[in-house]
Amino acid sequence: MKKFLMHLACGLSFALSGAVYATTGDPVAGESKALVCAACHGADGNALAPTFPKLAGQHADYTAKQLAEFKSGARANAIMMPQAAGLSDQDMADLAAFYAAQKGSVGVAGEGAVPQGEAIYRAGIPGSGTPACASCHGANGSGIPGAGFPQLSGQHASYIAAQLRAFRDGSRNTDPNGVMRTAAKRMTDAEIDAVSAYIQGLF
């Protein structure tokens, strides 16, 4: 019951926070606008370099929200802030719709990461009170469209680990009600690396 209430509260906060990004996007228009993004994120949103996130298949509302945060400076990133600076709300919606329509590539779980990473993802870390990732991101990492919980399946382990560390040290802080910061601050480097490597192989 406690997990359910936490999940519900998180879902409501994300749903409310995402309401301002409700502009309807055109994936066809987004395809041409995404040409400049391909150098880092790949032509179809499946970034090859592990330091850049895969955007293919990501929920449109989530992608639009991140672009808006880069544009406003709420989410700091030296590469993305200037890229997003000139985007209109429609541009962001179109890009998000394009990437949402693409199929994400399947990754491979990091060697040796499965036992510990799977335990963290599915059951959390009881000793530190860290919640299970699956409670918000789903059993297969597909996230929850409309609730603000992003798709994680197949995402590069290096990127996930970097974001978890950013949430842990507070340098990434646009998560409503500090949901991710609260979870990540209780994790060790080894735990972050293990769950990130496991998520990379989810599909």
> Could you tell me the residue ranges of all domains in the chain?
21-100, 114-200
- Whose CA is closest to 151, among 27, 28, 45, 16? 45
Is 154 in contact with 77 (CB distance < 8 Å)? no
What does the DSSP assignment read for the chain?
A: -HHHHHHHHHHHHHHHHGGGG-PPP-HHHHHHHGGGGHHHH-TTS--SSTTS---TT--HHHHHHHHHHHHHTSS--TTHHHHHTT--HHHHHHHHHHHHTSPPPP--PPTT-HHHHHHHHHH-BTTTTBPPTHHHH-TTS--BTTTTB---TT--HHHHHHHHHHHHHTSS--SGGGHHHHHHTT--HHHHHHHHHHHHT--
Is 21-100 a domain of CATH 3.40.50.300? no
- Which residues contact residue 5 at a Cβ distance below 8 angstroms, ignoring those fewer than 6 apart? none
According to CATH, the topology of domain 114-200 is: Cytochrome Bc1 Complex; Chain D, domain 2 (1.10.760)
pLDDT greater than 80 at residue 124:
yes
Closest CA to 64 of 24, 44, 93, 37: 93
Average pLDDT of span 170-175: 97
pLDDT above 50 (res 26): yes
Q: What is the pLDDT of residues 130-150, one digit of tens each?
A: 999 999 999 999 999 878 999
Q: Which residue did the predictor score with more confidence, 203 or 46? A: 46
**Has this prediction a pTM greater than 0.85?**
yes
Mean of pLDDT values over 120-125: 98
Contact 181, 173 (CB under 8 A): yes
- pLDDT tens, residue by residue, 32-45: 999 999 999 999 99
The pair of structure tokens assigned to 35 is 């040409």
